[in-house]
Each structure stands twice: as structure tokens, then as C-alpha cells.
């Protein structure tokens, strides 16, 4: 399969949006674009599995073309199982985001254009095997977020949009320093290169790795709510429109986790081991801080935003433990959290559209008037707290088991601390669900509310399918990503 198709599709459809007229036509084009992207993602999965049965190469469907010869920058793309999983996650979230935004009225054409353009940046990032090209697509995925929040957001939208943009651009600057360090300190036949596969073959001295690893890891870590650089997450999510919140939490935060794994850990394995203790400590702080901070929230969006800080801490914990099982768990957590948090934000948006409030204290008894929305809200909550049979359970358990595999009192203590957050998560999830969904109706006006429309039901089902398939038959995902994690573990060597 030609991976460039993943970039052409959102680009062509986003440009087509600019020429069509009328809200119905705009929505139809956006929906067709999202469905086609999902179809392309599923086709890629089938082609990838068929090709991998006969081809043991680390990355498949490679394409390499010179982009800027003077600096040896290439348009080099390819995918492994981890990349394919991230691409599928993106396609699911984009389709659900378009569906929940079906009734978007204010500047609808521009809204869907930016949403599709965000998917272009995500696809480009996940398929890039040239570090400069990867950085380019990382930047493509930043500016549309600023506009989506600043124009269509709510509350302190200008402040939140600016804070998000500045924080993520600061992270990008750190990433670029790290990538530049790799570029200028490696050479192939006397020529510097941004090529990820070529750099991975070089023997970079531990001293240089230790110097540039923090720039790359912290830079990407800012995107995935690395403590203490997580402060953009609650403000950004709370002010963003529903589809933007879904994309921010479901996809954008995964760009950071993917970068921490694919670039920082894979290309600088000695430094990853050297800094693993710090990464684990910061991850445990994020897990516990996010969980306890969530308990203090009364706004549904803030509850989901702060819980994202906690759940993304599991991603970084899995990466920091540097075992095959923990890294598998980190990738599974990225996929699980992407689906779960997108569903959560979608349902919160549905509730807000009808009740015009996100305050838990003002809600109650919604199950009586919104049975479908309330049921999905409960499932999303149970997934968040790790109920067996849902994606959250298999992802977090894989991280915990992989973390425990690393011998040593420090690593076992960190694992126990991370596990303890499950109790806190159960408290805030059950409290939020119980107060909002169960009990008597607190506002008589809510008696007149309607349940989900066809578009909202379809969006919820799309995400629920992913959550249930991953939770009930997780082996398909582990089989998909195992070869990719094997390559990373081989670079890391034997870590006991």
C-alpha cells in the first residue's frame, strides 16, 4: 500500500470543503472523508498483516524520496505494528468527531476543514521515518488546535488556546533541539542525516545520548502531559469544542507518547536506561496527582481532563520501565485511552448540549431521560476505572505486569504506587457517574430532554466497538505491536 494515500485523502477532502456550499454538503463531505479514512486504515491493517506474513522487515511499505538535498532531508515513510495501531486510532476518533459535530453551525466549513487538517498532521507523524518530516507533521497538528479552541471554544477560550499553543510549541522547540543533536552527531558516509533507520544503526556515545535525550523526551512528553508540564491539558480540554477535545485527548496526546518511544527511547537507548528512574518517578507523580486532582473537580470536562493526566502517566511509566511487556502496555494504553477519553468527551458534549451545564451538582437522574447517553457514559467510566472486559483493564494490567518484571525494590514500589491509583480512580468515576446519571432528577427542565440522535449514537458505537474489541480479544493488538516492540527491546539490550 502507498502510505502517501493517508496524506492525500484528508488533504483533498479538506480542500474540497473550501469549495462546496451549504451546511449539508459540508457535513456530507466531512463524513465521507472520515469514512474513507477509516476504510483506508482498515485496508492498511489487512495489507500490513498479509505482507508481514512473508516479510520480516522492521518497517513495511517504505517509500523514500529526497525532499531537501542540501540538508539530506527525505520524505521517508513506513509503518510497523505500532504505527498501524496509531493510524487506526486516529481514523476512529476522526470519524466519531465528525459525527458528534454534525450540527455545528458557526463557521461549519472552517471547523471541519481544521478537523480534517489535524488528521493530516497525525497520519504524517505516525508514518514518518525521517525525523525532520516527523517534526514537520508534528507542527502541522499544533496550529489547527489553537484555532479550534480560540474560535469555537467556550469559557476562557482565548487564554486556553494561547496557553496550549505556547506549551506545545515550547515542547516542539525542545524536540527540535534533540533531533538536531542527533542530526549533527551522526553521519552516514560522511553526510549528516535525519533518517530514523540510519540513525538507529549508529553508535552514538552515551555522553551525547545523555545530553540530547532530555530535550527529545521532555519535548514529546509535554504533548502527553508529562509532569510538571501538564498544565495546558485541563484548560485546553475544558475550553475546546467537543470534537477538538476528542482529538486533543484521543490523538494529540498520543503524538507525544509515540515520540517518546519511537524517537527518544529507540534512538537513545543508553540514555533511556540512564534516565529511567527519573521518568518513573515523574510518571508515578502524574498518575497519583492526576487521580487526586480529579477527585477535587466538579466539572465533567475537568474530571476527564485531569484523569487524562493520570492515565497518560501509565504510558510514560510503561516506557520508563523498559521491559517488553511494559512497552507493549504503554502502546495498548495509548490506544485504550485514545478511544476511552474520546468517548468520554463525546458523551460530556452530548450532555452539555442538552442541559447547558457540566457541573455534577446540577445534574442527576439523566438515565431516566437520556438512557442511551447515560449508558454510554457509564461504560466510558467503567473503562476508565479498569473494568475487565474493556480496553482500560487489559492496557493497565499489561503496564503493571511489565513494570513488575523489572527487578528491584524501587521498580516494585513504583508499580505498587501506580496500582494504588486504581482505588482513587474508582472513587471519582463512581461518584461522578452516580451523581450525574443515577438518583432523582434535580432540574425539572431536564424532564423535557431528548436522547442521542442518529449521529451521536453512531459516534458512540464506533468508539465502543474499539473499546470492546480491545477489551475482549486483546491478542489481535498485542500480535500487531509485538514485532515493533521487539525491535525497540533489541536496541535497549538486556535490562534486568
Task: State pLDDT tens for residues 369-407.
Answer: 888 988 999 998 888 888 888 998 999 999 999 999 888
pLDDT band at 205 (very low <50, low <70, confident <90, very high): confident
| Residues 248 and 291 placed together within one structural domain of the fold | no
One domain for residues 239 and 292? no
Q: What is the mean pLDDT of residues 252-278?
A: 91
Residue 136: what pLDDT? 92
Q: Which of 247, 268, 289 is the last residue in one of the domains? A: 268
The verdict on 221 and 317 lying in the same domain is no
Give first-to-last CA distance, the chain, whole Å.
39
Residue 18 · residue 114 · CB < 8 Å: no
Mean pLDDT over 66-77 rounds to 87
pLDDT of 279 strictly over 60:
yes
Model confidence at 368: pLDDT above 90: no
Is 340's pLDDT higher than 80?
Answer: yes
- Average pLDDT of 404-416? 89
310 plus 249 within the same structural domain: no
Does 319 share its domain with 340?
yes
Domain boundaries, position 471? 275-496
Q: Does residue 329 come out as left (phi exceeding 0), alpha (psi in the -120 to 50 range) or beta?
A: alpha
Residue 432 above 80 pLDDT? yes
Q: Looking at the structure, do residues 243 and 337 belong to the same domain, yes or no?
A: no
Instruction: Count helices and strands (H / E) in the chain.
Output: 23, 4
Which of 241, 268, 295 corresponds to the end of one domain? 268
Over residues 22-62, the pLDDT tens digits come to: 888 888 999 999 999 999 999 999 999 998 888 888 888 88
Q: Given 251, 268, 285, which residue is the final one in a domain?
A: 268
In this structure, the strands spanning 60-68 and 73-79 are antiparallel
What's the sign of the alpha-carbon dihedral 61, 65, 67, 73? positive
Residues 174 and 195 in one domain: yes
Do 354 and 450 lie in one domain? The reply is: yes
H helices of 2-107, where? 5-17, 23-52, 81-100
Mean pLDDT of all residues belonging to the chain: 88
Whether 223 and 135 map to the same domain: the answer is: yes
Quick one: 253 and 287 in the same domain?
A: no
pLDDT band at 447 (very low <50, low <70, confident <90, very high): low
Number of domains the chain is built from:
2
Grid cell listed for 248:
486533543
Average pLDDT over residues 308-312: 88
Same domain, yes or no, for 346 and 493? yes
Query: Per residue in 141-192, pLDDT tens?
Result: 888 888 888 888 777 888 888 888 888 899 999 999 999 999 888 877 778 8
Mean pLDDT of 277-303: 90
Same domain, 326 and 186: no
What are the residues whose beta carbons fall under 8 Å from the beta carbon of 173, sequence distance 6 or more?
219
The pLDDT value given to residue 165? 86
Amino acid at each position: 500500500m502507498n502510505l502517501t494515500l493517508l496524506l492525500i485523502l484528508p488533504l483533498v477532502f479538506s480542500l474540497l470543503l473550501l469549495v462546496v456550499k451549504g451546511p449539508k454538503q459540508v457535513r456530507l463531505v466531512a463524513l465521507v472523508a472520515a469514512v474513507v479514512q477509516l476504510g483506508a486504515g482498515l485496508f492498511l491493517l489487512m495489507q500490513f498483516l498479509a505482507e508481514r506474513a512473508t516479510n520480516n522487515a522492521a518497517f513495511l511499505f517504505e517509500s523514500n524520496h529526497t525532499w531537501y538535498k542540501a540538508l539530506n532531508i527525505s520524505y521517508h515513510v513506513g509503518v510497523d505494528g505500532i504505527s498501524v495501531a496509531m493510524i487506526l486510532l486516529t481514523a476512529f476518533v476522526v470519524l466519531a468527531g465528525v459525527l458528534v459535530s454534525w450540527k455545528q453551525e458557526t463557521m461549519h466549513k472552517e471547523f471541519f476543514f481544521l478537523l480534517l487538517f489535524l488528521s493530516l498532521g497525525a497520519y504524517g507523524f505516525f508514518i514518518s521515518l525521517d525525523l525532520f518530516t516527523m517534526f514537520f507533521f508534528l507542527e502541522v497538528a499544533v496550529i489547527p488546535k489553537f484555532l479550534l479552541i480560540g474560535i469555537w471554544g467556550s469559557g476562557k477560550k482565548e487564554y486556553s488556546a494561547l496557553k496550549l499553543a505556547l506549551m506545545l510549541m515550547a515542547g516542539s522547540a525542545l524536540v527540535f533541539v534533540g533531533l538536531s543533536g542527533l542530526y549533527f552527531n551522526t553521519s552516514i558516509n560522511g553526510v549528516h542525516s535525519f533518517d530514523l533507520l540510519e540513525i538507529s544503526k549508529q553508535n552514538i556515545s552515551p555522553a551525547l545520548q545523555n545530553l540530547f535525550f532530555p530535550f527529545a523526551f521532555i519535548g514529546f512528553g509535554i504533548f502527553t502531559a508529562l509532569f510538571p508540564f501538564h498544565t495546558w491539558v485541563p484548560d485546553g480540554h475544558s475550553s475546546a469544542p467537543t470534537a477538538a477535545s476528542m482529538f486533543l485527548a484521543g490523538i494529540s496526546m498520543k503524538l507525544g507518547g509515540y515520540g517518546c518511544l519511537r524517537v527518544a527511547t529507540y534512538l537513545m537507548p543508553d540514555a533511556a536506561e540512564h534516565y529511567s528512574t527519573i521518568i518513573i518517578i515523574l510518571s508515578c507523580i502524574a498518575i497519583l496527582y492526576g487521580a487526586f486532582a480529579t477527585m477535587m473537580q466538579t466539572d465533567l470536562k475537568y474530571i476527564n481532563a485531569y484523569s487524562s493526566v493520570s492515565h497518560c502517566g501509565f504510558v510514560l511509566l510503561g516506557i520508563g520501565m523498559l521491559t517488553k511487556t511494559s512497552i507493549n502496555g504503554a502502546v495498548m494504553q495509548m490506544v485504550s485511552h485514545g478511544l476511552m477519553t474520546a468517548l468520554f468527551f463525546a458523551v460530556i458534549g452530548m450532555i452539555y448540549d442538552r442541559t447547558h451545564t457540566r457541573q455534577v451538582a446540577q445534574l442527576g437522574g439523566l438515565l431516566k431521560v437520556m438512557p442511551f447517553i447515560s449508558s454510554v457514559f457509564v461504560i466510558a467510566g467503567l473503562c476508565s476505572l479498569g473494568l475487565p472486559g474493556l480496553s482500560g483493564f487489559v492496557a493497565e494490567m499489561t503496564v503493571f505486569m511489565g513494570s513488575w518484571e523489572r527487578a528491584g525494590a524501587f521498580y516494585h514500589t513504583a508499580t505498587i504506587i501506580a496500582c494504588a491509583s486504581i482505588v482513587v480512580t474508582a472513587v471519582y468515576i463512581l461518584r461522578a457517574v452516580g451523581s450525574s446519571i443515577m438518583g432523582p432528577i434535580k432540574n425539572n427542565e431536564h424532564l423535557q430532554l431528548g436522547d442521542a440522535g442518529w449521529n451521536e449514537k453512531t459516534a458512540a458505537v464506533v468508539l465502543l466497538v474499539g473499546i470492546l474489541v480491545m477489551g475482549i480479544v486483546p491478542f489481535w493488538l498485542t500480535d500487531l505491536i509485538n514485532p515493533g516492540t521487539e525491535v525497540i527491546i533489541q536496541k535497549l539490550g538486556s535490562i534486568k
